[in-house]
Amino acid sequence: MTILSFDPHYRRTWMFPRNIRRIEPWKLDQILNLLLACQEDTSTQDVQDWLYQELERLNIKRDRKKVKSSNAGGMRTYFSQLELLGLVTRDPKTKIYMPTRAGQKMMSHQNPLKVFRYQLCRLQYPSPYSVANNLSIDPRIKIKPFVFLCDLLRDERLNGLTSQEMAIPVLYGHNNDCFEYCVQMILKLRKHNGNFEEIIKSVSDFYTIKNRDFKAGLQDVLDIANTAKNYLQAGQLIINEEKSKRYVLTSNQEALNILDTIGKEPIQPFNKEYSESFQIRYGRF
């Protein structure tokens, strides 16, 4: 399996919630404790407004007055992020969020950085997050995006990646067999001084249900790549090398050990009908 064929029903690019610019583990800890302490129906606008106000009070989220307006989608993005990271599962009948073991560890302040690194290394497509109707990532994509990125960072031909260059795996990291293709595309991008128009010829590469335009699609992918970089920084898995202006893999041995063990676990089978079971296994820290 290599680059996937185009299917107008799905996006072939990675995606991550972008509700917080930097998602340091301590922030996830506070968001988890806030969400799971709430005994009200979190799907209602009033409850979401209250939760949003609490995030502002904790200095986790900017004041809504400074971000034009609030909406239910804003708070839902926090729920999606916790689900993406395997920190919560949701009862299919009551719709109540519950912490996974990883979520419990995060909430108890027991080495939240280690928990976060484990979850980044287990994060995969497909997942409950990736197949959500409002996202629709192609279910044929089978990849651990952060492990894939770290493998690229280890490649001696690349010697690290810029945030812009991370857009290549966002676009073409459909499975592990796409590794060499991504390496060559990154080298081509460098040869053309970062000009994506010289190496990407089809607007379908950027296609999502909402976006079919090359310029807008490229900006979206660059934003997703920057978000991926922020996740890796929050997990202290990468460092910024000032001389080359590229991000390189950390030399921290604990982080590398997690990458070499948890990161090498195989992609887990996923069935949308058993999303709760998948989340429990994913968050089995």
If you average pLDDT over residues 220-240, what whole number do you get?
A: 96
pLDDT of residue 103: 96
Task: Specify the range with the lowest mean pLDDT, choosing from 27-41, 56-70, 159-173.
Answer: 56-70
Question: Which two tokens mark 146?
Answer: 């952060």
pLDDT at 75 over 80: no
If you average pLDDT over residues 271-277, what whole number do you get?
A: 93
What is the distance between the alpha carbons of residues 37 and 41, in angstroms, rounded to a whole number? 12
Dihedral over alpha carbons 265, 267, 273, 278 (to 10 degrees): 20
Q: What's the 3-state SS for the chain? A: CCCCCCCCCCECCCCCCCCCCCCCHHHHHHHHHHHHHCCCCCCCHHHHHHHHHHHHHCCCCCCHHHCCCCCHHHHHHHHHHHHHCCCEEECCCCCCEEECHHHHHHHCCCCHHHHHHHHHHHCCECCCCCCCCCCCECCCCCECHHHHHHHHHHCCCCCCECCCCCHHHHHHCCCHHHHHHHHHHHHHHHHCCCCHHHCCCCHHHHCCCCCCCHHHHHHHHHHHHHHHHHHHHHCCCEEEECCCCEEEECCCHHHHHHHHHHHHCCCCCCCHHHHHHHHHHHCCC
pLDDT of residue 174: 98
- For residue 179, the Cα-to-chain-centroid distance in whole angstroms is 19
How does residue 252 score in pLDDT terms, banded at 50, 70 and 90?
very high
In 3D, which of 6, 5, 17, 10 has the Cα closest to residue 209? 10
Amino acid in the structure at residue 280: I
Mean pLDDT of the chain: 90
What is the distance between the alpha carbons of residues 265 and 262, in angstroms, rounded to a whole number? 5
Task: Specify the range with the lowest mean pLDDT, choosing from 11-20, 35-44, 83-92, 148-157.
Answer: 35-44
How does residue 77 score in pLDDT terms, banded at 50, 70 and 90?
confident
pLDDT of residue 100: 96
Bin 259: left if φ > 0, else alpha if -120 < ψ < 50, else beta: alpha
pLDDT at 55 over 70: yes
pLDDT of residue 73: 52
Sign of CA dihedral 128, 131, 163, 258: positive
pLDDT at 156 over 70: yes
pLDDT of residue 58: 78
How does residue 69 score in pLDDT terms, banded at 50, 70 and 90?
very low
pLDDT at 18 over 60: yes
If you average pLDDT over residues 263-283, what whole number do you get?
A: 95
Question: Which two tokens mark 111?
Answer: 């080495």
Angle, CA of 168, 173 and 176, to the nearest 5°: 135
If you average pLDDT over residues 123-151, what whole number do you get?
A: 95
Task: Specify the range with the lowest mean pLDDT, choosing from 79-83, 102-106, 221-225.
Answer: 79-83
How does residue 64 score in pLDDT terms, banded at 50, 70 and 90?
low
If you average pLDDT over residues 55-82, what whole number do you get?
A: 68
pLDDT at 63 over 80: no
What is the distance between the alpha carbons of residues 14 and 218, in angstroms, rounded to a whole number? 13
Cα atoms in the Cβ-side hemisphere of radius 13 Å centred on 57: 9
What is the distance between the alpha carbons of residues 243 and 273, in angstroms, rounded to a whole number? 49
How does residue 72 score in pLDDT terms, banded at 50, 70 and 90?
very low
